Amino acid sequence: MKYRKFGKLAWEASALGFGCMRLPTKDGRGYSDQVDEAESIAMIRRGVDAGINYVDTAYPYHGGQSEIVLGKALRDGYRDKVKVATKSPVWMIQKPEDFDTYLREQMTRLQLEHIDFYLLHSLTSARWEPLVKLDVLARAEAAVKDGRIGHIGFSFHDNHETFKKIVDAYPGWEMCQIQYNYMDVENQAGTKGLRYAASKGLAVVVMEPLFGGRLASPPAAVAEVVAGDPEKRTPADIALQWIWDQPEVSTILSGMSSMVQVEENIRSAERSGVGSFGPGDFALIDRVRAKYRERAIIPCTKCEYCLPCPNGVNIPRNFELYNDAVVHDDPTLPRFTYGRFLGEKERAEVCTACRECEEKCPQAILISEWMPKVHQMLGAKPPQG
């Protein structure tokens, strides 16, 4: 296993971290609470035996079962071999003491008296402001002082401007977790956010390196481009190596669902390293990215001339999610994002077909006609996780 600098801390993280959001389940549903406990424990322990020293979970994963199963996996001496990260369900915090209530519950689930990294989960602009008013970070600092947690961080799902604002708002951050892959270089925190956080001394943990698994199983047209790789690497390996090439990345979380995936990712991590990508590799990524983008149906360039919408619809974001679903032949993750992270007033369903935006769109997109289609595809209830 290779190891990497973890921000300002005098500790190095394994290049591959074990994400516990997509553990194997008995009913075959990726986010369900019917976790295959025996297989999950075997997978986690195999990863740790191979050198993985960072494991990640959160309060809602697998309906609360993820923390419980991870706690069991860390018995028999495995706890001493890893740093444990979990996340506070900030959307459930209504008063300051709620922070401690959920932390106690999570420590019980995990069977731990100390959590190494405790993150404010899935921050957005809308979620951040109430936490500031409730002075939740003071509660987190108290938990560090009395030894319940070791370090304070946050995970993130919003735009770059919000990310920078949150990074700058609190000097006590020691790490952050962002969605990042070769299709997300400008989305959410993006490459700029990765580099900014690292420049501030934060460890940066990458989630969704395979875009919810979609980059591992590309559509046929994209797979044909990937097949041109002279080294004949798998789509997943290429995507992971692209991230590991970047020195600002502290570790990559992979939500592994089978022992086969564990073994494949361990082998990839053993080959990882900053500067391992050559000009030909970057050119391949460029070709793959371009092939994906060719598949987009709505020609939105995110110029934002259509904004502000008089009804508050975030038109470019809705189109981006719809295109993602079409590009990857899979609406699962865009549907999840639409239902979980896009505000109700920003969604396509709020469109009244006033057509004011269409007069401003340089691409002449018939926005009012697309919005019902967007909501029809993305408006299904997102999975829990």
Q: How far is CA 332 from the centre of its chain?
A: 14
- Note the pLDDT of residue 29: 80
Cα separation, 363 vs 241, in Å, equals 36
pLDDT band at 362 (very low <50, low <70, confident <90, very high): confident
Q: Using one digit for the tens of pLDDT, what is the confidence trace for 239-283?
A: 999 999 999 999 999 999 999 999 999 999 999 999 999 999 999
Q: Using one digit for the tens of pLDDT, what is the confidence trace for 218-236?
A: 999 999 999 999 999 999 9
Cα separation, 319 vs 370, in Å, equals 9
At 107, phi and psi to the nearest 5? -65, -35
Q: Identify the burial level of 294 via C-beta atoms within 10 angstroms of its C-beta, where 0-12 means exposed, 13-18 middle and 19 or more buried.
A: exposed
- What is the rounded average pLDDT for all residues in the chain? 94
H-state helical runs in the chain: 37-49, 65-73, 97-110, 125-133, 136-145, 160-169, 190-199, 220-226, 235-244, 259-270, 279-294, 315-327, 332-340, 367-378
- Whether the CA torsion 241, 341, 257, 59 is positive or negative: it is positive
Q: Is the pLDDT of residue 385 over 50?
A: no
Q: Where are the domains of the chain?
A: 3-284, 315-378
Token pair, residue 33, equals 């609470």
Q: Identify the burial level of 156 via C-beta atoms within 10 angstroms of its C-beta, where 0-12 means exposed, 13-18 middle and 19 or more buried.
A: buried
- Note the pLDDT of residue 381: 61
Indicate the CATH number for domain 3-284. 3.20.20.100
Nearest to 92 by CA among 131, 133, 138, 148: 131
Q: Using one digit for the tens of pLDDT, what is the confidence trace for 7-64?
A: 999 999 999 999 999 999 999 887 789 999 999 999 999 999 999 999 999 999 999 9
